[in-house]
Amino acid sequence: MNHTYKKIPMPIRYLINTALIALLLYAGNAVISSGITNRAQSSLVLQVGIYIILAVSLNIVTGYLGQLPLGHAGFMAVGAYTCGIFWKSAAGSALPAPAAIVIGLVLAGIMAAIFGVIIGVPALRLKGDYLAIITLGFGEIIRILIINLSGITGGTPGLMNIPKRSSFLVVYLAVAISCIAIHMVMKSRHGRAILSIRENEIAAESCGIHITYYKVFAFALSAFFAGIAGGLYAGYQGLLTPSGFDFMTSINILVMVVLGGMGSMAGSVIAATVLTSLPLALQSLNTFRMVIYSVLLVIIMIFKPSGLMGTYDFSLSHLLEKLLNIRQPRENSPAQTADKKAGKRNG
C-alpha cells in the first residue's frame, strides 16, 4: 500500500448531499410551478413521494431486520386517519398552516408507532409465515375498525373535506427527512444491532444485543414513517376511505421493496418511483398493469433474486471518491485465493 485511498471527509460529504437535496427541491419546484406539467403529472409526483416513504419504511423491517410483515397499509391507515382528523379540526383554529402540517404528520407517525409496538410485541415472538399471517390480520383489523368507528372516521363513505396540505414542498421535505433519518439510524450502533439480528439471531444475542427490544424498535420505526406517509396521503387525497388501505396496498409496497432489493434504500426509492409511475407511463395498457407488474417481478426474481440493487446502496460521495482514486483501486476486495480457501471447509 504505497498510495493511500483518498477519502472525502464527513463534513464535506454532508455538504454535498445537502446541496444535492436543495438543488432537487429547487428544480422540482421550478418545474411544477412553471406549468409544464399537467395535473396528472404533478399529482403523480406527490404519489411517488408517498410511496417512496412507504417502501423505504417497510424496508426497515423486511430488508434490514429480515422479517416479512404484510400489514404495512394498516400503519399507513392509522397515520392517515390521525392526520386527517387533526387537520380537519385544526382548519378552523388559529394554528398557522406550517405548524398544523408538522404537528399533524408527527402525530400520525407517533400514533402509527404506538400501533407498531402493540402489534410488534406479540407478533415478533413468531417467525416467518406466522409473523406474516399475524400482521396480515392486523391490517384487516385496522380496516374493519375504521369502518365500524364511523363516528370518528366517517366509516365506509369515508373521511371527507380534509384540507389538501400535501404540497410538493411538504411531500419533498418529508421524503428527504424520512430517508435521512432512516439512513442515520441504520449507520449507528442501533442500525447495526438490527442488521445483526437479520444476519444471525443467536450470534447477535450472544454479543449482548437485546433481540426483542431491537425487533420492536425496528417495527415501531417502520410504522412511524408509514404513519407519516399516511398523513401525506390524507392531505393529498382530501378524502380517506377504508378500502384505500386493504391488503393489496400492503402487497404493492412489499413488491416495491423486494423489487428494489431488500436492504437497499436506493433500491426501494427507485422501485417505488418506477412502479408508481408505470400506470401513467403505460396509460393505454392500464388494464394490463397488474400483468406487467407480475411479469416484471417474475423476470427480476429469476434473473436477480436479490432485487434490482441487491443490498447495494448508492452513495454520491463514494462515487466521487472512486473518481478521485481512478488510478488506485480500492484495497478492500478480498483476494480470490481467500475465497478458495474458505470453501474447503465449512462449520
Binding site residues, other proteins, CB under 8 A: 181, 184-185, 187-193, 195-196, 199-200, 202-211, 217, 311, 331-332, 334, 338-339, 341-342, 344-347
Nearest to other proteins of 119, 179 (CB atom): 179
**C-alpha grid cell, residue 330:** 480500492
Question: Which of 97, 82, 124 is closest to 226 using CA atoms?
Answer: 82
Q: Is 108 or 193 the residue whose CB approaches other proteins more closely?
A: 193
Q: How far is the CB of 83 from other proteins (least distance, A)?
A: 21
Specify the residue, 48 or 193, whose C-beta has the smaller distance to other proteins: 193
Q: Which is nearer to other proteins, 117 or 184 (CB)?
A: 184
Q: Minimum Å distance from CB 267 to other proteins?
A: 15
268 in Cβ contact with 56 (< 8 Å): yes
Cβ-based nearer residue to other proteins, 4 or 284: 4
Least Cβ distance, residue 224 to other proteins (angstroms): 11
Q: How far is the CB of 151 from other proteins (least distance, A)?
A: 36
**Shortest gap between Cβ of 231 and other proteins (angstroms)?**
19
